[in-house]
Structure 1
Amino acid sequence: MLNLFLIYLLTFLHPFYVSVTEVNHNQKTKSLEISTKIFFNDLEVALEKQSKTQLDILKPADKNRVDQVLNQYLTKHLQLQVNGKPVNLKYLGFEIEQDAAWCYLEVPQVSRIKQIQIENSVLFAEHDSQTNMVHITVNGNRKSTKLDNPESKFTATF
C-alpha cells in the first residue's frame, strides 16, 4: 500500500510542461490572430537563456527589452505557413494572467485560407517532456492537435 501511495505522490509532484496556442482567422479584418499561453516561469528561463541576460517578465525594469526578446524568441519558435507560403508574425505584446504569460501576434492581410501549417517548438529546448497544444479556427471550423517534443509541426486543411 505504501508503494502505491509513493507512486501516486511522485506522479502528482512531477511537473508538467504545456503551452496552448490559438490561431483564429478573423474574416472581418482579414487577419490571423494568434495567442499563446505559456507558463511564465518556464518562458522566463528560455528568454534568459536566449538573451544571456536576467529578465523579470512579471515586473520588468525595461518592458521594451522584454518585448524585444520575447518577439525574437516567438518568431524563432513559432512559425506559420498559409497556403504553402511562409508568413511573418507581427508581435503585439504580452500580459500575465495568474501563472501564465499570454503572448499576442497577428498576420495581417490573410483573406482566404485553404491550409495552415504551424511549427511550434516553444520550450522544446528547455523541457524534453514539453507539450504544445495547438488550436486553429477558420470559418468556424476548428482543428486541434497535441505536439509532444520533438514533434513540432501540424498542418490543418480547410
Structure 2
Amino acid sequence: MKSKKYVFLFLLIPLVAFTIHKYYISLCEIDFIEEKKSIQITLGMFIDDIEFTLNKDNNTTLNIATKNEAQKIDEYFKTYLNNHFKLTINNKLIPYKYIGKEYDDDIVRFYLEIVDIAKLHSIEVINTCLIRDFEDQQNIIKISANKKNKTFYLDKKTYKALLKF
C-alpha cells in the first residue's frame, strides 16, 4: 500500500512542477494601415504581472480587473506605458494615443494608435515593460507593415527592435 502512494507521488510531482511554471511574456502587435495612415498597436500582458509592477512602483494596491479596481487605473497604465513602451517612426519619436484597455481572463490588452503617418520608412520599438521585475521577461513584437511581417523577441539584454523598409 505504501509503495503505491510513493509511486503515485513520484508520478505526480513532475506533472505539478510543469503546471506551476510561470511564463513571463507580453505580446505586442503593430499594424501599419496605409489606407488609414495609422499605426495600430495591441499590447497584451498578464494582469498579475502588470499589477505587481504598478503596485510596487506606486506603493499601492490597484486590484486590477476586480470590482475594487482603482478608479484612475487608466492613468496608471498610461504613465507606465509612456515610460516603458516607445515608438520611433521614420527616425522621430512619436507619441501614441491610448485608446483603452480590455480584460480577457488573465490578460490585459492595451489599444494604442498613431495617426497621420503617410509613409512608413522605419519603425523602432523600445519595450522595457516588466523587465525590471521579472528576470525571464520576454516581450514579443510582431510588426506588419508595407507587406512585410517581422517578429522580434526582446528581453533584458535586447529591449529595442528596428525594422526598415
Give the match for residue 89 of structure 2: 82
Give the match for residue 55 of structure 2: 48
Deviation of 1:54 (Å) = 1.1
> Where does 1:5-154 land on structure 2 (aligned, <5 Å)?
10=17, 13-59=20-66, 61=68, 65-154=72-161
| 1:105–1:13 distance in 2 versus 1, CA, 3 Å | same
Which letter maps to 2:161? F
* Pairwise CA RMSD: 2.3
Deviation of 1:10 (Å) = 4.1
Deviation of 1:8 (Å) = 7.4
TM-score after normalising by structure 1: 0.89
Q: How many residues align?
A: 158
Bigger Rg, structure 1 or 2: 2
Q: Is the 8 A contact 2:63 2:70 kept in 1?
A: no
* % same residue: 28
Deviations 1:50-99 (A, max 9, x none): 22221022025466510000000011110010111100021111110111
**Where do 5+ consecutive residues of structure 2 fail to align?**
1-8
Q: Is the 8 A contact 1:60 1:66 kept in 2?
A: no
- Partners of 2:67 and 2:111 lie apart in 1 by 18
